Every structure is written in structure tokens, then in C-alpha cells.
Structure 1
Amino acid sequence: MRAGWYALALVLSLGIVALVLYSTGTFDQWSDDRSLDQACDGTLSQDGLDAALRSSSLSADSEGDGDHLAACRVRNAKTGAQAGAVELTLRWSSATPSSGELSWYNKDYNGVRAQAVPLGNGWSGIARRQGAWQVMVALDCVNEKKKALVAYGDLTGTANNATLTGLARVTTETAQNAAEKHGCQVKPGKRLTEVSTSRLGTPDTATPLDQAQGSCTALRKLAPTAARNGAPEAMEYPADAHTPQVNCYLATPDKKPGYGLYAYYGAAAEDFLASEGDNLKKGYGPTHSDKDYSWATAQCPQSTQPAVFVLYHLLDGDTDTYPIAHHSAEFATSALSTFAGHEAQVRGCADVHMGSVP
């Protein structure tokens, strides 16, 4: 009889404890913390999440996708995903990228819509915007050069410098954690403290080409020739020897982007080439439809994937016209050769090869 009373007392005590835990939110907090610890196969970095989502009350869900190494989503535990969310996906560079991952490369001939901001601080990563912000990081495995850990961090909801910096920290550090977990030795950068949402394309982002100091630096010596070909101005990002994508835009006297020069390295080069599909199989090199272009490749020490350099005669997608009406193939080849040679020198690449255009 006494044993029965003891058992009943124990059940009642446990019930009271459970009620207290639920009523005070302690259980929910424990459950949310556990979901964060287990997210993205246990590799999710929580540094930067508060800043990215402007909340310290967060919860994570696993995203089932057999094509990725891991995937997860983090949201505000109280208001849900409608207030914004961070979605992370990780894959090996050898895995087939999804159509969504390749869509970023389908506008590189269309004004400045394919631009990417270098993350800086030694990280091989970029921030890019296509309706919403995404951070892409590609960490080469120094112990297996055919392989790289690729991570994507997508931010839904409004963004500013603080939220984008938070997203960049989460993505870079999660990529590093995942690489270490799977035996991929990488050279990470330093902790990110500022990533700007600033974008190129408005007139105030253009400067005279002969004053370029960033990603267009190599083309300064071509400034007189560029001016004669309708492109005396430059739109550029800071020079960065680690970013997987480099953008340089040559602009018209009225500061409209007329030529776009791009460099893609490692996993970014693989994805760019994959986005080209049958064009490469036909021997045309990187191109889109009938757009005017020049292209080149180089062998780089960081990866077995050759780097790819491309110049496009840019279309203004808003007006469906070319800001530079006359495309000079001679100038395009000269500009790209100069751009690719400089990039190769900075990265320690060799064997720059100019591709033929049919």
C-alpha cells in the first residue's frame, strides 16, 4: 500500500515538474537549443545567427535532400519563418548542382545582375543578390584537390549590413565545421565582422578606368583604348585574391555597364561551366545564345578545375538594348587577355589559354 502511495507521489511530482517546465518555456528552450545543435548534421555554426535573424529565440529544422551533404533551416522560434529564415545547404563540388544553384550564372551578360561581393578576410566566398541575399562559400580540400566543400546560405526577409554579415559568419563557419567533420582540410579565413549590401550599377559606383584600384586594376593601362571603344569608366569591387568570383564592369560615358569581365575559380568555375550545358559540348566555350563574348582558361594551384575568364558585351535588360552599340571583338580579346593575365599572376596560375569564338 505504501509503495503505491510512493509511486503515485512520484508520478504527481513528475507531472508538476513537467507542468512547470512547459509553463515557463524551459522545455521549449531546451528543445530549440537541441534542434540548433543537431542542425545540418551537427555542423551548424550558431555564431551570427542572432544577427542574421535579429532574434536570440531560434529553432532549426532539418531539410531532407539526398543531393546535398546536409541542409537545414533556422527560424525565429516565436514568430516562425514569416519573419525571416536562414537556409543552409552543403555539398561536395563533385556533386551535381541543382538548377537553382546554377541560376546565378544565367545573367552574366545582362547588365550587372550577376555581380558578387567578395566576403574578404581570407574567405573563398561571395555574397550575391537575386531577389534575396545568398552567401556562397567554396573551401578547397588541400588534402584532395579534386574536391571542395561548397556551402550556400540564403536569407529570407529584409537585409542590411548587420544581417548579411551574420549570414556570412554562419555560412563560412558552418562550411568549415562540415569540412573538418568529413576530413577535408581547408584554409579558412578570419572571423567576418562586416559584409556590405552595397551593389554596383548606379552612376555613383562608376569611376574613370585609369583610376581603377580594385578588380579592374589590370585594365588601367587600356584606358585610352577602352575610351575609344565607348567604355571610359569602371565599376569594381575591392581586389581579393581569395574570392571564387571576380567582377569588373566597363561603363559608358553616361555610366551604364557596357562590358562585363568575370573570373571564376575552383567550384565556382565548375558551376559556371555546368550552367553552360551544350555550348561547351559543341566547342563554343562559355556563352549564352548569340551574345558577343571572349573567354579564356588557366591552370591554378588551388584546384584541379581550370579557372575560367569571360568577357560579355552587356545587354541592358531594362531597355533590351546594348549601352555600347558597337561590339569590338579586337578590344574584347585584348581586354580579357589583360584581365586574365593579371588574375592569373595574382593567383599563381599558369598556362593562360584564350578560347576561340565561332
Structure 2
Amino acid sequence: MQKISGLRRIHPGWYAGAFVAVLAIAAQVLYSTGIYDSWRDGRSVDRACGGMLAQGELDTALESSELRAESLELDDGYLAHCLVLRADSGRNGSLEMSLRWSTTKPSSSEAFPSGSDIDNGTKGQVAPLGGGWSGVVRNDGSAAVQVALDCRNDRSKALVAYGSFAAPGFAPSKSAAALTGLGRVTTEAARKTAAKYGCEASGGEKLTTVSSPPYGARPNPAKPLGQSTGSCAALRGLAPTAAQNDVPQAMEYPADTQTPQVNCYLATASQKPGYGLFAFYGASAKALRTGGVPSSLKAADEPRDYAWATAKCPQSTEPASFLITHLLEVHSDAITHPVPRYSPDFANTALKAFADNEAKQRGCTDVRMTAEP
């Protein structure tokens, strides 16, 4: 049979070389078009905080579908700690998430509740997260959400999730949608982490809206104490006495029996907060006892302008703490009190009414006035 002299045998090495060349071209295309970076960023978000973050809600919170994530250093006892950032070129926005047990001391960055702010006007305020969740939202320049899920199978602890718009970048905007996205990311992370680690807990429903605390740079107006229907409602009957003690107004929050921290402020006729009433439950009460209480609110030999009470609650082995304090007003050159004179009798009466009502709403018992939280 005659051979065609123009054909040469192709060496197998040629195929290998051609395959390598094709791979190199494909890799160059992936790099130059950003497809690889996008894939890598997507993988990092999928794995963020052990895969506990709700992807679609991250897009809403950070107002972008181009995101990347990185792990952050774990404080002692923390389960996860991560940062999600916008990957769009030149665009700001970042969300930080930490997950821990309530038996673990919160880090200084979490500081929830912030003890140094409790007696400083409304700086220590939080609003109920709502939706049946045991959570709160704070906005003191950068929004943050905390959720604490009590474990039914171990009442000595709760799963705590803390999500915040954090540096670098902070929130991409101050929209209600972004804040609601932060709330959804935090609640979902709490739910998934509790399930992963065997904490039998009840969550809430999908959040439809999350509102910032109402008393900020342009606060909502106070109302007459006798018209209170929310967190100050227990003090309606004390309206005449409150007026005699220079606090005829109430600055209050929606009534919510799930929130781990309750705020009620009694305000002057000029709507400056003069007395602050607080209730702390479960993980928030524990955080307060393990470092959140400012030195000005601890038992001492000097005359006190605050009072404490405690109660036993069925959801947690941690006693609930109730506080009333004489609020400060901090100026650049001085510290003053909107209500010049602190009345121990009025404070004790108001705190007892507040604590008794809170205990009744939560099924707590054994309300006691105490020297410490």
C-alpha cells in the first residue's frame, strides 16, 4: 500500500503542549476579565463565619452583589468572627459579624450594653428588634444588631450574634433597607449557629423592617408620662409624682416581651432625659454584670444616685437586672444633670413599679431591690 509522503506522525507531546497553552490562555482570560476574582470572592463569602451568613441578605445590607469576606481574629471563646466587604472598585461598605456563647465575655468591640453610656443621656439606648426575636438594634453613629437565643436544653447559656456596619467603610447608606438587611443577616446567623451547636432555641419571623432607636440628633418628641403605652407604661400612675420631681415627660419604646434590653427615659418639660430606667435579661444581664456596669453605678460608700432590682426569670438561669439612674448631660466643658436634684424616694418607687411590670410581662418572680445588679 502506498504511503502519502506529505503526512508526518504527530508526537503525543504536541497534544500536551497544546493543552497547556489552552489552559494558560483560559487562565489569562479568567484573570483579565475578573471572572476568577469574582469566583474567589464568592467562595470567601460562602465560607464566612463558618457558612452561617445569609447570602441574599448580605446583598441587601451592603447594597451590592459584589462582596468578599475575610476571617478576623477570634477572641477567647468566640465561635466565629468575620468581615464582609463590598468588592466593587472604590465603593465603601462593610459588615462585621461575631458569634459566641453568653458564657463568653463580650469583646470590647461588641460592648453591648455599653456600660459607660448607661448614665449619659440616651447614649445607652437600644430599640427592640421586633419580629418575635430576642434582639435589639443600636445606632450610635454606626448601626449594630444583637440577637441572643436562650437554649431551652441548657438555660445557663444563650447563642449571641452581633452584627454591625463596621470600619472600614461602615454602612453604604443609612437606608431602612440596609438596616433591615443587617437585622436579617444577624438573625439568620444566630438561628443557624444555634442549630449547628445543638442549642435548642426559638427564633422569630423574617424581619420586614428594622427601625433605629428614635432618640438621636433629631429625636422624636417625648409625650406626657400619663399617656405612655410602651416601655414606660408601668409609670403612668406616677405621672403626678414624676411632674413634682421635674420629669413630666416620657421617652419610650414599643412594648416587646422578647427584647433582652428595655429602655424608658423620664424627661423634663424641655424634653431632656433626667432619669433612665433599664431592664436587662439573659445574655444582656450577664454582659452587664461581667463588665458593662460603669464604676459610677457600683455600690460604694458615697451617696448613690441610682438604684437596682433583680428578679428570677424562667427563660434563663441568669437573674434579670433593673436599674434607675440619675442621667448626665455631657458638654464640652462640663457635666450637668437636667434634673438638678436626685430623689431616692421617687427613684425607688419608679424602679419598683417598672420592675414589677416587667416581671409580670415575662413571668419572672421574686423582684427584689438590691445594692448591685
Q: Common fold, TM-score beyond 0.5?
A: yes
Looking at structure 1, the residues matched to 219 and 26 of structure 2 have their Cα atoms a distance apart, in angstroms, of: 64
When Rg is computed on C-alpha atoms for both structures, the one with the higher figure is: 2
**Structure-2 change in CA distance of 1:75 and 1:278 (3 Å):** closer
2:349 to 319, 328, 334: 334
Matched, 1:194 2:209: yes
TM-score (norm 1): 0.93
Looking at structure 2, the residues matched to 111 and 279 of structure 1 have their Cα atoms a distance apart, in angstroms, of: 17
SS of residue paired to 2:329: coil
2:87 to 77, 81, 84: 77
| Counterpart for residue 256 of structure 2 | 240
Moved more, 243-252 or 91-100: 91-100
Q: Is the 8 A contact 1:126 1:244 kept in 2?
A: yes
Q: CA deviation at 1:131?
A: 2.8
| Counterpart for residue 262 of structure 1 | 278
> Aligned letter for 2:314?
P
Looking at structure 1, the residues matched to 230 and 96 of structure 2 have their Cα atoms a distance apart, in angstroms, of: 31
Matched, 1:153 2:163: yes
Q: Is the 8 A contact 1:203 1:255 kept in 2?
A: no
User: Which aligned runs of 4 or more in structure 1 are off by greater than 3 angstroms?
Assistant: 201-204, 276-280
Q: CA deviation at 1:17?
A: 2.2
Moved more, 45-54 or 31-40: 45-54
Looking at structure 2, the residues matched to 40 and 233 of structure 1 have their Cα atoms a distance apart, in angstroms, of: 44
> Unpaired segments of 5 or more residues in structure 2?
1-9
Matched, 1:126 2:136: yes
Q: Deviations over 1:16-70 (max 9, x none)?
A: 2222322332222211111111100121222421222111111111112142210
| Counterpart for residue 288 of structure 2 | 272
1:18 to 22, 27, 52: 27
**Structure-2 change in CA distance of 1:148 and 1:70 (3 Å):** same
Moved more, 66-75 or 246-255: 66-75
**Structure-2 change in CA distance of 1:58 and 1:339 (3 Å):** same
Q: CA deviation at 1:279?
A: 6.3
> Unpaired segments of 5 or more residues in structure 1?
none
State how 1:49-64 maps to structure 2 within 5 Å. Answer: 49-64=58-73
State how 1:1-358 maps to structure 2 within 5 Å. Answer: 2-67=11-76, 68-79=78-89, 83-102=92-111, 104-155=114-165, 156-157=170-171, 158-200=173-215, 204-276=220-292, 284=299, 292-318=305-331, 320-356=335-371
**Structure-2 change in CA distance of 1:47 and 1:222 (3 Å):** farther
Looking at structure 1, the residues matched to 276 and 239 of structure 2 have their Cα atoms a distance apart, in angstroms, of: 15
Q: CA deviation at 1:179?
A: 1.1
Q: Is the 8 A contact 2:159 2:190 kept in 1?
A: yes
Looking at structure 2, the residues matched to 119 and 49 of structure 1 have their Cα atoms a distance apart, in angstroms, of: 18
